[in-house]
Amino acid sequence: MDRRGFLKTSAGAAAGMTVLSALDASTAFAAPRSFADDVMSQHYPFALPALGYAENAVEPAVDAQTMSIHHDKHHAAYVTNLNKALETQPTLHGRTLRELLTGLSTLPDGVRTAVRNNGGGHANHALYWTLLAPGGAKAPGGALASAIMRDFGSVAQCTAALKAAGLAQFGSGWTWLVRDGGGKLSVRGSANQDTPLTDGAKPIVGVDVWEHAYYLKYQNRRADYLDAVLGALNWDAASAAFA
C-alpha cells in the first residue's frame, strides 16, 4: 500500500473508531438507565447483569480495580447467595426481587434474613451502578430538582445531608435519598444491605459506604470517597428513579 492509501485507510479507521466510541458511550449510558428496573423485575433464578460501562469509566472517583471487585465479586456473591436461599422455596420462585423485598415480613422465617441481606444487596447495588454511570447531568433537574428545593432548600444541602448520613453510618451500610408515599424527600442511613423498599420508601440515590466500596483507593477516608462519588453522580439516573 502506498503512503496516500495508508493515510486514507488510517483516517477512515480513525473515523470509524470515533463513531464506535460515540456508540459505546451512548450504549454505556443507555444500559444503566434501565439496569435497576431490570434487576427489580428479576425472579428466581436471579442473575448478575453486566455493569454496562467500562470499569475505569468512573475514575478518578472510583478506581477500576474497586469497580471490578465490587461488581464481579461482591455483587455477584449476593446474587449467588440469594439463589441458594430460595433454591428449596418453589413457592417464592415467581416473586420478583421487588416483591420479595417489599413483602419481606411475609417470607418464611428460614429465608427472611437471607433475602433481606442478599436480595437487598442485589437491589442496592443495581441502583448504585446506575448512579455511577458515566455521562448524564451532574446536577438534578426537572421534577427532582423542584422536590429537592422544596424539601432541602438547595441541592448543596441535600448533598451535605447525604454525606453526613454516610459518615454517621456506623460500620457497613448505605446513605440514601428516598421518597415516601406522599412524595416527600428525606435522607437516611441504613445498616448492612437493608433497603428503603422494605419500609415502603422509594430509593432515589443510594451510596454504598461498606469499606469494600472505597478502601483500595481511599483507605479509611470515607469522607473523601463520599465527596468524590456525590460529585460524580448521574442525576439523570436519579431523576429516572424519582419518576
- Please, which pLDDT band fits residue 150 given cuts at 50, 70 and 90? very high
237: helix, strand or coil = helix
For residue 161, pLDDT beyond 70: yes
> What is the location of CATH 3.55.40.20 in the chain?
142-242
What pLDDT is stored for residue 193 in this prediction?
98
Looking at the predicted structure, is the pLDDT value of residue 30 above 80?
Answer: no
Query: Both ends of the chain: CA-CA distance in Å?
Result: 56
Strand, helix or coil for residue 203: strand
The DSSP output letter for 94 is T
Q: Which of 17-26, 90-99, 172-181 has the lowest mean pLDDT?
A: 17-26
Amino acid at 224: D
pLDDT at 213 over 70: yes
pLDDT of residue 35: 66
Task: Give the pLDDT score at 243.
Answer: 86
56 pLDDT above the threshold of 80 = yes
Banded pLDDT at 34 (limits 50, 70, 90): low
For residues 88 and 14, the model is more confident at 88
Give the whole-angstrom CA distance, residue 171 versus residue 167.
10
Homologous superfamily (CATH) for 3-44+53-131: Fe,Mn superoxide dismutase (SOD) domain (1.10.287.990)
pLDDT of residue 20 exceeding 50, the answer is no
Mean pLDDT of 98-120: 97
Q: What is the pLDDT of residues 114-129, one digit of tens each?
A: 999 999 999 999 999 9
Q: Alpha-carbon distance 227 to 230, whole Å?
A: 5
Query: Partners of 178 in the beta sheet?
Result: 186, 203
pLDDT in tens, 71-88: 999 999 999 999 999 999
What is the pLDDT averaged over residues 35-64? Answer: 93
**CA–CA gap between residue 12 and residue 6 (Å, rounded):** 10
pLDDT for residue 67: 97
pTM listed for this prediction: 0.86
> Which set of grid coordinates corresponds to residue 67?
469497580
At residue 200, does pLDDT exceed 50? yes
* Cα 219–chain centre separation: 21
Joined grid coordinates for residue 191: 445498616
CA distance 99 to 128: 20
- Look at domain 142-242 and name its CATH class: alpha beta
Do 125 and 71 touch, CB atoms closer than 8 A?
A: yes
pLDDT at 38: 86
Section 2-10 average pLDDT: 40
